[in-house]
A and B are shown apart, each in its own frame.
Chain A
Amino acid sequence: GAGVSQSPRYKVAKRGQDVALRCDPISGHVSLFWYQQALGQGPEFLTYFQNEAQLDKSGLPSDRFFAERPEGSVSTLKIQRTQQEDSAVYLCASSLVVAEGYNEQFFGPGTRLTVL
């Protein structure tokens, strides 16, 4: 009974490096969400996929942030030319189906990114 998994759990990057964060959603889950949680703040929405389609990327803070889910399962969040303000925990969540009514999101443990 695997839940949402994320890797790596911790990542340290030097300013200017590119990073890639991986999310493995629960098998069969259609929707996948990325959130960013800065220190001392609540999680903030970044982007949302339904299968392989990225339906909402309104929360991505800059064009340095890019997310993909090419086969509708695993997703990668890529941050180019990392900056110190990118330091945060990146949370991934998945839900079973998009429909009327509520589709519960299951959260992964997060990846803590520290940019030096």
Chain B
Amino acid sequence: AQKVTQAQTEISVVEKEDVTLDCVYETRDTTYYLFWYKQPPSGELVFLIRRNSFDEQNEISGRYSWNFQKSTSSFNFTITASQVVDSAVYFCALSGVRDDKIIFGKGTRLHILP
């Protein structure tokens, strides 16, 4: 069975602090995809990143970075120098190759305080 666990339900940090959102996944597939989505108060799901299970290279995009470690089945997301606009719910998710449905974690609600 596939499962995504986001242990942090809610996090509050002061603006400009760095914050890391944790994600642990379970799957029996050898090939799979990992995702992060952002859901701002307006409600739409905003795609942030997709990672193939064969590509463990960490990725940086502006203030965002992702750390994928297969050995610990983790795919953590770090926001550097957080801003108030980063306040949202963030979902980590998992998908197989043949079965395209996406399995989402329960989300981490991030509050960036001014």
Residues of A within 8 A of B (CB): 31, 33, 35, 40-45, 48, 56, 59, 89, 91, 93, 95, 98, 100-105, 107, 109-110, 112
Contacts and interface: CB of A to CB of B under 8 A. Distances in A.
Given A33-B101, A40-B106, 7 more contacts: A45-B101, A45-B102, A45-B103, A48-B101, A93-B102, A104-B50, A110-B44
B43 interface: yes
B100 A48 contact: yes
Given A42-B91, A42-B105, A103 B44 contact: no
Range of interface residues on B (Cβ < 8 Å): 20 to 34
B104 interface: yes
A102 B50 contact: yes
Given A42-B91, A102-B33, A107 B44 contact: yes
Contacts, number: 55
Contact of B43 (A35, A56, A89, A104): A89
Contact of B100 (A43, A95, A110): A95
11 contacts: A42-B91, A42-B104, A43-B102, A59-B101, A98-B100, A102-B52, A105-B100, A107-B44, A107-B45, A110-B43, A110-B44
Most buried by B among A59, A101, A107, A109: A107
A26 B109 CA distance: 30
Nearest to B103: A45
A95 B97 CA distance: 13
Given A33-B101, A48-B101, A98-B100, A42 B33 contact: no
B43 A42 contact: no
